[in-house]
Structure 1
C-alpha cells in the first residue's frame, strides 16, 4: 500500500487502515518559499521525515492596506487577478508533478477572514465586524472571489485537496454570533463546498494560532474528509475521540506544536506521541495542533512519525 492509499483508506469505511499515518509541517526560510527551491525543499522534508502526504505551505500574503480604516472602506478592496497568485501556483504545479504518484498533495488555504486580517489587522478587523458586519461583508465577498479564482486554478493543476484553515469563532472574538454568521461562515463554506465537490481529500483545520476556543462545535458541519484541531479549550481538554465523534470523520492531531516536538528529547517525543496514539480514534493521523515552529528539528518530527508507523494497539 503506497502513501496515497494509506491515507485514503482512512475515509473508506469498508477498509481497515494498514497503519497510522502521520504528518507535521513548518514554514521554510525565505530562500525556499518560491520556485524550484520551494518544490525541492518540500520534497526533501517529505522524504526525510517519512510523513504520509505532502502539505504545501502557502506563503503569498495579501498586501496590507492602510486605507482600510472604517467599515465603509472595505468597498475599496481590490479583487486580485489570477496572476497575483503566480508564485504559489508555480509551487503547486511543481509539487503535483513531483509527488502526486507517491502521496496526496494538499495546500494550506487560509480563510477569507484570515486574508482580511492580513489586509488590516486582527484587532481592526474584529472591531469593524462588530461595528458594522454588513459593510465588512462587502470586503469578504471581494476576498472570496479572489481566493475562489486561485482554488479553481489549483484544482485544474491537479492538486488533490487543501488544508482548509479557519478562524473567527474563537472564545472572546465575537460576543454576538451574528458577526460570525454574517462575515465568516458563509465565505468559509463557499470555498470549502467548492473544494469538497472537486477534490479527493481535504483537511478541515480549526486554527487556534491567534486565540483559543471555548468550543469548536460551530464548525462541525464544515466540509473536509479529516478534521485537525487543538484539544486544548478554554474550559478544559476535549479528547481526540470526542472530536472525531463530533465531526463524524477521522481526527488529525494530538500533539502540542510547542511541546516535546519543538524542544524535547527523543524519549520525550516518543512518550508524547505514544500518549496521543493511546487516546486516538481508530481512524487517525498523528499530527500537531497547527504548524510547528520553523526551527523545529526535522529529526524530532521523524521520531514522532516513526512512532506512529510502528504503533500497534
Structure 2
C-alpha cells in the first residue's frame, strides 16, 4: 500500500509513525564520475531514464536522487596533475554555468519521475568534490584522492581553505536556484578525509566543519527539510561525534562501519530522525539475504530503533543489481510490523 506524503513526513518530523517509511537508491550510469558536460547528454539521459524506470518498478515511500555526471565542480576538471600553481588560478563559476543549469534541468526531471513523492537531491561537500577531482577513478584506489588532498594541505593549508570556500560558494549558487525545481530538500553528503595525517579533530574543526557549515547554511536557507549523509562508502570511516551538531534535520550514516546502530545514532544526534540500518555491500543482508533474513532484519531494526523518527534505508548507495524484490520485502515487513 502506498504511503501518503503526510504519513512519510511524520517520520521526517520525528513524530510517532503508523508505518515506518522505506527507500533505497542506486546509480544508473556505469560510473558517476564521468563529466556529464562532455558526453553529449549521454549520462544525463541515463540518469533521467534510470530514475523513471526505477520509480515505475518500485513504490518507494520517498526518493533520494542520483547525481551521476555532475559530481565535481567543473573548475576542478582539468586533466593535468593538480598543483597549487594551477589550483591558485581556479576561478568561481557563474550562476548560469552549464554545470548548474543542467543540474536544475536534471532535478526537474527527477521530480517528474518521482510522481509526487518527497524528493531529495544530492549535494556533495566541497572536500568530497575536491578529493574526487584529484584522482583517476578508473585506475586509482578509492582513497587516492584523500592522500593527494593531504599532500596539498601540508603544502599550503591556507590555499586549501580558500579553494574549499570557493567551491562552497559555487555550490551555494546551485542550491539557491533549486527550490523552483520542486525538490523537497537536499541530501548533503560529507566525509572525513581517509588519510591519518588529516584524519584528526583538529583538521575537522579547522577545515571540514567551516566549509560544511557554510554550505549547510545555504541548504537550510533554501529548504526546511534536509538529510545529512556522513558517507562510509567503500569502508571509509568517520568519527560521528564530530558531526553530531551539524544543523540538518535528518541523519544517515554507515551503521555497519562507524559503530553506531540506528538506535545509538539517534541518541548521539540528539534524538533527530534517523535513516538507514541496512548495509550497502554485496555481502550484506539486503543484497545477499533470503526473504526470511531480510524481513527479520527489517523487524529487528524497527524493534531496536522504534517508530518515532525512524526511516529504513541503507548505509549508502546500494549495488546497481540489487534485486528489486529484496527492497519490496523490506517494505512488506515494515508495513506488516505496523499492524502488530
TM over 0.5: yes
How far apart, CA to CA, are the structure 2 residues paired with 1:95 and 1:304? 24
Residue pair 2:13, 2:273 contacting (<8 A) in 1 also: no
CA 1:3–1:225 in 2, change beyond 3 Å: closer, same or farther? farther
CA 1:135–1:284 in 2, change beyond 3 Å: closer, same or farther? same
> After superposition, where does 1:203-242 map in structure 2 within 5 Å?
203-213=227-237, 215-233=239-257, 237-242=259-264
Match of 2:93 in 1: 80
Moved more, 63-72 or 266-275: 63-72
Match of 2:267 in 1: 245
Match of 1:112 in 2: 126
Deviations 1:187-243 (A, max 9, x none): 111111221232132111010115543630110111222110112346xx3221121
CA 1:111–1:214 in 2, change beyond 3 Å: closer, same or farther? closer
Residue pair 1:202, 1:226 contacting (<8 A) in 2 also: yes
CA shift at 1:7, angstroms? 2.2
Match of 2:109 in 1: 94
> After superposition, where does 1:144-183 map in structure 2 within 5 Å?
144-168=168-192, 172=196, 174-183=198-207
Match of 2:293 in 1: 268
Residue pair 1:251, 1:281 contacting (<8 A) in 2 also: no
Q: Which runs of 5+ in 1 are unaligned?
A: none
How far apart, CA to CA, are the structure 2 residues paired with 1:183 and 1:207? 17
Match of 2:37 in 1: none
Residue pair 1:165, 1:207 contacting (<8 A) in 2 also: yes
Residue pair 1:133, 1:182 contacting (<8 A) in 2 also: no
Other structure's SS at 2:233 match: coil
Q: Which runs of 5+ in 2 are unaligned?
A: 31-40, 135-144
Residue pair 1:206, 1:228 contacting (<8 A) in 2 also: yes
Other structure's SS at 1:228 match: strand
CA RMSD of aligned residues (A): 2.5
Match of 1:309 in 2: 335
> After superposition, where does 1:287-298 map in structure 2 within 5 Å?
287-298=313-324
How far apart, CA to CA, are the structure 1 residues paired with 2:158 and 2:201? 14
Moved more, 102-111 or 89-98: 89-98
Match of 2:139 in 1: none
Match of 1:126 in 2: 150
Give the TM-score of the pair, scaled to structure 2: 0.81
Match of 2:9 in 1: 8
Match of 1:53 in 2: 62
Other structure's SS at 1:204 match: strand
How far apart, CA to CA, are the structure 1 residues paired with 2:119 and 2:255? 25
Match of 1:255 in 2: 278
CA 1:45–1:97 in 2, change beyond 3 Å: closer, same or farther? closer
- Which of structure 1's runs of 4+ aligned residues deviate more than 4 A? 30-33
How far apart, CA to CA, are the structure 1 residues paired with 2:194 and 2:12? 28
CA 1:18–1:204 in 2, change beyond 3 Å: closer, same or farther? same
CA 1:198–1:277 in 2, change beyond 3 Å: closer, same or farther? same
Deviations 1:91-145 (A, max 9, x none): 2112334536x31111111110111012212220122224432111122122112
How far apart, CA to CA, are the structure 1 residues paired with 2:198 and 2:234? 14
CA shift at 1:278, angstroms? 2.2
How far apart, CA to CA, are the structure 2 residues paired with 1:173 and 1:154? 36
